[in-house]
Structure 1
């Protein structure tokens, strides 16, 4: 009997997938690349719902899976991240100063003779008026407890620019000439 030489098969290299680690509450742990409102700041590892991470944060580039490679890459760019954050804060402070220097804005709205508006003035209209004065403000930044429904002067409308930077502006609502008259 002749001995047959057994051929050994080469071992397959199994490629590890970048799987999302589970957190203590059952959510997915992700590494934030940008500040995300109500989630966390740039460079933090946070736990969010799996679908939120998989369908929104990761595809839009707000977060990545916290692997060793990504952590090293983040450490490398942390200096640049802090410089970007500091420049962003400086820009927001200058916008806040411009808002304070502007002091007041006037918005025309349709109103009846008693001064009640037919609609309301909300963050969209205030943002539009601020942009008319070359101030880059988003509607989410205007803080109103409820929409403004009457003509008059509202002396302390808050604008929250982020990073705990706030400014106040006076909003004056006047009736427009196209109001209904009987």
Structure 2
């Protein structure tokens, strides 16, 4: 019997796959537990239209991410930190401060977990921070670290 999986099933397949399973397994286990439905012509058509809609949605998300990436790359954020003689800083700047500054200065809500910062910023100057906006879109944000007076 052919079944369209409604959820991921270990050793059988992923959600949305059409798989062939034994009749008893399908009737007694998969269908009653709502893990799958019988693969009729109508169910297959619905699955196809659902996949097309999901593909369209993913494409729109990718376009939005590219747009956001361009906006981030074109802009820069200024963060102030206390510094002593010779430009020696007191403390460091982490992704939390960069996220807060981006929110205040640019109006962009960037998730701090998507920023790649190998180590906290401990020096004055301009630093480029890598941000993974989308699995396929990576951009850089210029962070200008200046002395707080």
Shorter-chain TM band = 0.5 to 0.7
Q: Which residue of 2 aligns with 1:170?
A: 142
User: What is the RMSD computed on CA atoms of the aligned residues?
Assistant: 3.2
Contact 1:95 1:136 in 2 (8 A): no
Does the CA-based 8 Å contact 2:9-2:35 persist in structure 1? no
Is residue 152 from structure 1 mapped to residue 125 from structure 2 by the alignment? yes
**What whole-Å deviation, never above 9, does each CA across 1:112-141 have from its counterpart, x for those lacking one?**
333333221111111222222022311112
| Secondary structure of 1:121 counterpart | coil
Match of 2:3 in 1: none
**Structure 2 residue matching 1:149: 3-state secondary structure:** coil
Deviations 1:69-124 (A, max 9, x none): 3995755421221111111111111111111221x221012233333332211111
Show the counterpart of 2:133.
161
Return 5+ residue gaps in structure 2 as ranges.
1-5, 18-32
C-alpha displacement of 1:23: 4.0
Instruction: Name the structure with the higher helix share.
Output: 2
Correspondences of 1:121-140 after superposition (within 5 Å): 121-132=93-104, 133-140=106-113
- Distance in structure 2 (CA, Å) of the matches to 1:143 and 1:75: 38
**Unaligned runs of at least 5 residues, structure 1:** 1-17, 32-42, 45-64, 178-182
Number of corresponding residues: 123
Which has the larger Rg? 1
Query: Closer, same or farther in 2 for the Cα pair 1:81/1:148, shift >3 Å?
Result: same
Alignment of 1:1-182 (within 5 A): 21-23=9-11, 31=15, 67-69=35-37, 75-102=48-75, 104-132=76-104, 133-154=106-127, 156-177=128-149
Tell me, in whole angstroms, the C-alpha distance in 2 between the residues paired with 1:70 and 1:94: 41
Alpha-carbon spacing, 1:110–1:69, altered in 2? closer, same or farther (3 Å): farther
TM-score under structure 1 normalisation?
Answer: 0.55
